[in-house]
Amino acid sequence: MTDCIFCKIVSGVIPSKKLYEDNDVIAFHDIHPIAPVHFLLVPKLHVAGLSNCALEHQALLGRLLLLAPKLAGEQGLDGFRTMINTGKSGGQEVFHLHVHVFGGGAVLPKV
Ligand code: 5GP
Ligand code: ZN
């Protein structure tokens, strides 16, 4: 996926403020944060979005969600919000699966 921004971040072609990396997942701070702490959990494997996931991605999806509280805690958050935008009409702009994690500062509005 040569034209995918997040694949380029995974391969190091585009720099990022990385906060975590293992064999399958990387996490980095969002370039346009909407909260005092706002980072993205991204699988190294290129999958366009949640609608493109299948049973083979089940463990990876679990890994992403389990990392959210661990990394949020390391960033000093005692609570946080997760968001997965899916598809254009779901607000997705980068078509490489990612989980937003954000929090800190003011209490988040109820959704
Ligand atoms: P989406 O709307 O697809 O769920 O979110 C994409 C997110 O990626 C946006 O919050 C946007 O600010 C972030 N983003 C887009 N390009 C880059 C980049 O080059 N570096 C980083 N760190 N974040 C990016
Ligand atoms: Zn990609």
- The alpha carbon of 2 is separated from its chain's Cα centroid by a whole number of angstroms, namely 19
Residue 13 to residue 7: CA distance in whole angstroms: 9
Between residues 17 and 2, the one the model is more confident about: 17
Over the stretch 29-78, which tens digit does the pLDDT of each residue have? Answer: 999 999 999 999 999 999 999 999 999 999 999 999 999 999 999 999 99
Element (H, E) at 7: helix 5-11
Q: Find all residues with CB under 8 Å of 46, minimum gap 6, and list them.
A: 1, 4, 6, 7, 96
Distance from Cα 16 to the centre of ligand 1, integer Å: 11
Here the CATH number for the domain that contains residue 75 is 3.30.428.10
Distance from Cα 110 to the centre of ligand 1, integer Å: 23
pTM value?
Answer: 0.97
* pLDDT above 80 (res 2): no
Q: Which ligand is nearest to the CA of 94?
A: 1
Q: Please give all residues whose CB falls under 5 A of ion ligand 2, grouped by chain where several chains appear.
A: 1, 4, 6-7, 46, 96
13 in a domain, yes or no? yes
Sign of the CA dihedral with 52 first, then 25, 38, and 5 last: negative
108 in a domain, yes or no? no
* pLDDT above 60 (res 1): no
Task: Please give the order of strands across the beta sheet that includes 81-83.
Answer: 18-21, 25-29, 37-43, 99-103, 81-83
110 in a domain, yes or no? no
Residue 39 belongs to what domain range? Answer: 5-103
- The count of structural domains within the chain is 1
**pLDDT level of residue 105 (50, 70, 90 thresholds):** confident
